[in-house]
Amino acid sequence: MSGTLLIRNPGTAHRKVSRHREAFTIPLMISAVFLLYAAAATGDAGSPDAVTTDAPAYGDAIVIGSIADARTLVPILASDGPSSEVCGMVFNGLVKYDKRVRIVGDLAESWEILDGGLTIIFHLRKNVRWHDGAPFTARDVEFTYKKLMDPKVKTPYSGDFERVKALEVVDDHTVKVLYKEPFSPSLSSWGMPMMPEHLLKNEDLNTTSFGRKPVGTGPYKFKTWKTGEKIELTANDDYFEGRPYINRFIYRIIPDDATMFLELQTQGVDWTGLSPLQYTRQTDNEFFRSHYAKFKYPSFGYTYMAYNLSDQKFRDIRVRQAINYAVNKQEIVDTIFFGLGRVITGPYMMDSWAYNKGVRPAAFDPAKARELLAQAGWRDANGDGWAEKDGSPFEFTLIVNQGNAERLRTAEMVQSYLKAIGIRMKIRVLEWSALINEFVNKRRFEAVLMGWFLSRDPDNYDIWHSSKTREGEFNFIGYNNPEVDKLLEEGRRTFDQAKRETIYHKVHEIVYADQPTLFLYSAETLPIVSSRFKNIEVSPIGIGYNFIKWYVPKSEQRYR
């Protein structure tokens, strides 16, 4: 553009130079004028040319780097990360979360909550079309609900919908959902992606080819899936929120993290997640600074060490408190996560309204820990470095799943802190499903290092309520506190956010005081994106929520 003016004219001017000295001056003056114009044009904001080069432009593609391939693109069957991510671009739910973590409409324009939560009426958007042109209607909602509840469909998401008493199609754009009892997480459960009835009504969802060629209402349409290599989506021109700027969404599968990092270094990947080490040390150079932008936001979960509360050793609350004082959680965050995480004290996301900021973490105090242990009867009588009670030393095994380097290092650090107060902790690494099925579910463990991924709604009845202790359920530590039980029941029955906040704050306080598990930390999620993408804004729900508004200025586009 302006650059070409610069190149051409001095060239043509010089060709005439050798002949006539007088003739030289005119082309020189012309080129000088052009040069000046070019200089002005490529200057900063104010001038018209600069604005047009940076304005939102359609085009380009984004290459997402993923360690694993998706499994299925039938949204209610998708339970793994990659499948959900791709489905998130192809489908919409009735509602979604905005950047301030509030529920806003997606396919539903508005809704009414009646009878204290027993009834929800959704008013759906009109003029939304499926990618094949058919209109989206309330019948699609009814169909999706029926499939969620169909026992023959292998969906893991039926739990939330079991509380629905009935679902009625009032008209093409109105759906009425009746609940058996008020259930406050119900609204957020309607973030579930909607499926097209007209395409799937005669299909077996488990085996349908739709899972490899989905049709949704979302901002991107499915184009191709080369197994193990990539999934490609193209922009939906008729998307109801406006066509996304970026033409193509390419999900590239690179199973090894070292290779992924090398690909970043050759710009083969535009968007991927970084480990804390990569974030702080490996991307701290000229190349990365000029080509990429790094972001961070709190992840949607936390890591903890759970005690088997039926084990003799951990029954005494003083032992659990001692361990709480003995482990320097901040140092763990600083060492393993390079400070990219926070110490937590309760079972909620730290930035959620449910988290009780008044509950402060206990100080790192090994002396106090030893004192508490002694009070509980554990003393190092024979000077061998290990605390004993009735002649036997304090020993236990912590089980961890393999495949998570940071979690393993956390275990190693905890081991070293406990050694300092005389507790001997052994680490046993198990393959994930063996860990869950043979040890956790069957309660054959002393302590286990795990993490929870939480949903946006803070109701965690399933984890802490004393009724959830059957094999395979999530209260596998055997926590039983009747006061907490009552609070959890109330919390999920009321829709009043202020009331729920008080309830959950109290739960947080009690649980921390009880120390049924050792709350450790919540790490940060660390995405890195090529700096040619503009309009990225970090929020508590991440960076992808406004993806359809990201764009690449024309001059920087790389792919067609």
Partner 1 sequence: MIRYIGKRLIGLVPVFLGITLISFFVIHLAPGKPTDIQTSLNPKVSYEARMRLEKLYGLDKPIGVQYMGWLKRFATFNFGRSYIDDRPVSQKIAERIPVTILINALALILIFAIGIPLGVISAVRRGTLPDRLATVFVFTGFSTPEFWLALLLMSFFGISLGWLPISGIKSLDFEYFNLPVKMLDVARHLILPVAIAAFGSLAGISRYMRSSMIGIIHQDYIRTARAKGLKEPDVIYRHALKNAMLPVITIIGLSIPGLIGGSVIFESIFAIPGMGRLFYESVMARDYPTIMGVLSIGAILTLVGNLIADIAYSYADPRIRVIKEE
Partner 2 sequence: MVREFLNNKMAVAGFVFITIILAFAIFAPAIAPYNPSSIDAKNILAAPSGAHIFGTDTLGRDIFSRIVYGSRISLSIGFIAVGIAVVIGVFFGSIAGYYGGRADSIIMRFVDIMLCFPTFFLILAVIAILEPSIFNIMVVIGATGWMGVARLVRAEVLTLKERDYVTASRIMGASNIWIIVRHLIPNAIGPVMVSATLGIGGAILTESALSFLGIGVQPPTPSWGNILMDGKSTLGVAWWLTIFPGVFIFLTVLAYNLLSEGLRDLFEPRLRK
Which of 250, 269, 208, 251 has its CA nearest to residue 74?
A: 208
Binding site partner of 331, from partner 1, partner 2, none, Cβ cut-off 5-8 A by kind = partner 2
Q: Residue 136 has what DSSP assignment?
A: P
Other C-beta atoms closer than 10 Å to the C-beta of 259 total 14
Element of type H or E holding 419: helix 405-420
**How far is it, in rounded angstroms, from Cα 389 to Cα 377?**
6
- Selection from partner 2, partner 1, none that 168 binds (CB < 5 to 8 A by kind) is none
Q: Does 203 bind partner 1 (CB under 8 A)?
A: no
* 463 binds, options partner 1, partner 2, none, Cβ within 5 to 8 A by partner type: partner 1
Question: Residues 57, 138, 187, 253: which binds partner 1 (CB under 8 A)?
Answer: 253
Site for partner 2 in 244-273 (CB under 8 A): 257-258, 261-262
415-474 positions binding partner 2, by CB under 8 A:
415-416, 427-431, 434
Residue 456 interacting entry, from partner 1, partner 2, none, C-beta within 5 to 8 Å by type: none
Task: Report the distance separating Cα 206 and Cα 216, nearest Å.
Answer: 17
Contact 233, 223 (CB under 8 A): yes
How far is residue 441's CA from residue 103's CA, in Å, rounded to a whole number?
34
Where in 454-501 does DSSP place strands (E)? none
Q: Which secondary structure element, helix H or strand E, spans residue 424, and what is its range?
A: strand 424-430
Q: Does 403 bind partner 2 (CB under 8 A)?
A: yes
Partner from partner 1, partner 2, none binding residue 556, C-beta < 5-8 Å depending on class: none
Closest alpha carbon to 355 in 277, 421, 454, 269: 454
Task: Looking at residues 55 to 74 of the shown chain, list those that interact with partner 1 (rule: CB under 8 A).
Answer: 61, 63, 68-69, 71-72
Q: Kindly give the pairing relationship between strand 341-343 and strand 301-307.
A: unpaired
Name residues contacting partner 1, limited to 263-292 (CB under 8 A): 263, 265-266, 268
Q: Which stretch binds partner 1 (CB under 8 A): 7-15, 34-42, 451-459, 488-496?
A: 451-459
Tell me how many helices (H) and strands (E) the chain has. 20, 22
Which lies closer to partner 2 via its Cβ, residue 33 or residue 434? 434
| Residues between 500 and 539 with contacts to partner 1, criterion CB under 8 A | none
Is 443 a residue that touches partner 1 (CB under 8 A)? no
Closest CB to partner 1 among residues 110, 206: 206
Residues sharing a CB contact under 8 Å with residue 465, sequence separation 6 or more, in sequence order: 475, 484, 485, 488, 489
- In 3D space, the residue among 112, 458, 447 whose CA is nearest the CA of residue 302 turns out to be 458
Angle formed by the axes of helices 405-420 and 317-326, nearest 10°: 110
Q: How far is the CB of 539 from partner 1 (least distance, A)?
A: 22
Tell me which of 30, 33, 170, 405 binds partner 2, using CB under 8 A: 405
Residue closest to 462 by CA, chosen among 496, 494, 498, 489: 489
Residue number with CB closer to partner 1 (98 or 229): 229
Q: Which of 463, 488, 523, 548 binds partner 1 (CB under 8 A)?
A: 463
Binding interface with partner 2 (CB under 8 A): 257-258, 261-262, 275, 277-278, 281-282, 331, 334-336, 402-403, 405, 408-409, 412-413, 415-416, 427-431, 434
Binding interface with partner 1 (CB under 8 A): 61, 63, 68-69, 71-72, 79-80, 151-152, 154-160, 162, 206-207, 211-212, 226-230, 250, 252-256, 258-259, 262-263, 265-266, 268, 431-434, 436-438, 450-455, 460, 462-463, 470, 472-474, 559-560
